[in-house]
Chains A and B, each alone.
Chain A
Amino acid sequence: MQKQAIFQSKLLPYALVAPQLAIVLIFFYWPALQAVIQSFLLQDAFGLSTSFVWFDNYLELIKERAYFEAILRTFFFSFAIAVSSLSFALLLAVMADKPLRGSMLYRTLLIWPYAVAPPVVGVLWIFMLHPSLGVLSRYVRALGIDWNPLLDGDQAAALIILAAAWKQISYNFLFFLAGLQSIPRSVLEAAAIDGARPMRRFWTVTFPLLSPTIFFLLVVNIVYAFFDTFGIIDTMTRGGPGKSTETLVYKVYSDGLLGGNLGSSAAQSVILMIMVIVLTGIQFRYVERKVTY
């Protein structure tokens, strides 16, 4: 089969990719380049003079305790969001994979949260769990918890993780369901005849066969937790109370736009960019090659 398209004109193929290239160049490479340049510059408080300082912004960051804490916090958030969202989505997918009445309906319903924009997710959860307005806060207090995420940093973190994980469940669910459905029925039947009870069947056959999906989703979820939780954090806690929910991405925003330290903010975004490149590299290397089993 011929995979290469043949064009009469030599210019047409270039014209066809040009819009895409223009978008990538203008909206990705140009700002990225700006960020790299900015990260080597230092401005005075009024933005009147700018000096080239080499790696000083980066060195300052390494020395900054708050930055180190933000890294740890981001890793913890990513881990917590990925694990809770993945495991809950897997549980739902296993349930939805069973041939039950109305399965199409609740499969569809489970996909909806994915269509909700992150800031809306934030508002939604705040409405439910706001210490004084939240409809669920009463019940949380009834359990004997002194619920006040606006003052308690750990509770704020828990709230962010809850909201961010909830939003990601739909996406994970979709992939898990597809993964489950691609496992041949006869393999599971063979395991049933081979004397494996449902739980053992799941852990020894289904779960290993899902491992490519799990790995793929793990990378996607980490990237999501790193970057796409900005909207949720911004609407729910604005990084607070204190700095207890300030992730790396949020710190870029608050140091740069709120704190006015553009050089440091740029240096932080360059570091984030490198992290994304590494994660994407891992994903391409392992997921695309399908080497997992």
Chain B
Amino acid sequence: MANVTLRNVRKTYPGGFEAIKGVDVDVGDGQFCVLVGPSGCGKSTLLRMVAGLETVTGGEIDIGGRVVNQIEPADRDIAMVFQNYALYPHMSVYNNMAYGLRNRGMAEAEIKTRVEEAARVLELSAMLERKPRQLSGGQRQRVAMGRAIVRQPKVFLFDEPLSNLDAKLRIAMRVEIRKLQRRLNTTSIYVTHDQLEAMTLADILVVMNGGQVEQVGNPLAIYEKPATTFVASFIGAPPMNLMSTRPEEIRSQLAGSAAADAGILGIRPEDFVITDQTPAGGVALPLTVEAIERVGAETFVYGSREQEDQRVAATPGELPPGEIIVRIPGTEAPAIGQKIRVAAVRSKLHLFSGDGRKRLEA
């Protein structure tokens, strides 16, 4: 049981590359914190710094009220689940789980109790004598989990633990991890590049980009009020529609105080409705339907705007300029080539400064 606090944490590699450029995060006792971001954003590096596998160039990492910058991984009282599971290939499942306890000089009887309890929880009891190579991917993943929980550490660290599993198993294990964490009530830090995994697991979501934190907070709060255009397009699938406010067509509709300074307008696909009316203070856009994806419960409409925008600041997952995604119920489906008009109400508009770094309240 412990808080994890990162204070202005920095990492510079010997070559001069700045992987982490000053990160502040506070994870409360028993909370599940997810670090999410595109590959290369420094999220794994940050986790490895908390684990003690990477040195800290600047700032402080505090686990349970103790600054651990100079403390060996073994003495930080953490457990880590690796992406490739990192099981000891020459040891049985039982010994894989018992190894960390034996290293700490625990009595064999106590080890046996703990390992068997963990095996029961993770449904591994029947395969304690097997070697890792005799297990399926999902089973290996659970052994890696077991190795972490038998230790009863202060903090669990997860480095993309589900990315080697197939899609169906990934969802099942995601739920398992969440349930297990709730029951053990152990502070956890989890790294992923999958925004859906991040949204469903996190108590606190940390969105990272280029070695910096873009936004920290409750996942739904982040979804509803993304602080930057990067967060807006990274969280949520399909991503938020971002468009320049420069064209007269949009500018004229954004009559308001903050809107005058705004350079970028964002609207989530599900906040559009197909209608001929323009809600008061809202935005309406005429579209030509280019493509349609019907996935059953919902339909995605890909439309092009009649006027080409100037390109909005380049961010991952960004749409080609002028293209708008609209998400409508699965029962509706306009025809391709049809001209439609979509509108969003004032409260669903997201306004950002021209560089996309600042959210403006409408």
Check if A196 sits within 8 Å of B74, measured CB to CB: yes
Residue in A190, A192, A208, A209 whose Cβ sees the most chain B Cβ within 10 Å = A190
B181 at the A interface (CB under 8 A): no
Which chain B residues border A208 with CB–CB below 8 Å?
90
Q: Which residues of A contact B (CB under 8 A)?
A: 184, 186-187, 189-197, 200, 204-205, 208-209, 211, 293
- Chain B contacts of A205 at CB under 8 A? 88
State whether B86 touches A204 (Cβ < 8 A). Answer: no
Is B103 located at the chain interface by the 8 A CB criterion?
yes
Asked if B317 is at the interface (CB within 8 A of a chain A CB), the reply is no
- Cα distance, A196 to B53, chains bound together (Å): 14
With A187-B88, A192-B53, A293-B89 as known contacts, state yes or no: A197 contacts B74, CB within 8 Å.
yes
**In the complex the two chains form, what is the Cα distance from A189 to B73 in whole Å?**
9
Partner of A194, one of B52, B84, B99: B99
Q: Once bound together, how far apart are the Cα atoms of A222 and B89, in whole Å?
A: 28
Interface 0/1 of B73-93, CB less than 8 Å to A: 110001110111011111000
Known: A190-B82, A194-B103, A194-B147. 19 other contacts (CB 8 A): A184-B86, A186-B84, A186-B86, A187-B86, A189-B73, A190-B80, A190-B88, A191-B88, A192-B72, A192-B73, A193-B79, A193-B80, A194-B151, A195-B74, A196-B74, A200-B103, A209-B90, A293-B90, A293-B131
Size category, B interface: 20 to 34
Instruction: Tally A-B pairs: CB < 8 A.
Output: 62
A124–B168 alpha-carbon span in the complex (Å): 66
Known: A196-B74, A208-B90. A189 touches B82 (CB 8 A): yes
Find chain A residues with CB under 8 A from B79 CB: 193
CB distance from A226 to the nearest CB of B (A): 30
Q: How far in angstroms is the closest Cβ of chain A from B342?
A: 48
Contact A193 B73, CB 8 Å, known A184-B84, A186-B82, A186-B84: yes
In the bound complex, what is the Cα–Cα distance between A161 and B103 (angstroms)?
A: 39
> A191 to nearest B CB, angstroms?
7
CB distance from B191 to the nearest CB of A (A): 14
Q: Can you list 15 pairs linking A and B with CB atoms under 8 Å apart? A: A186-B82, A187-B87, A187-B88, A187-B89, A190-B80, A190-B87, A193-B53, A193-B78, A195-B74, A195-B100, A197-B74, A209-B89, A211-B90, A293-B89, A293-B131
Are A196's CB and B103's CB within 8 A?
yes
Q: Is B51 an interface residue (CB 8 A)?
A: yes
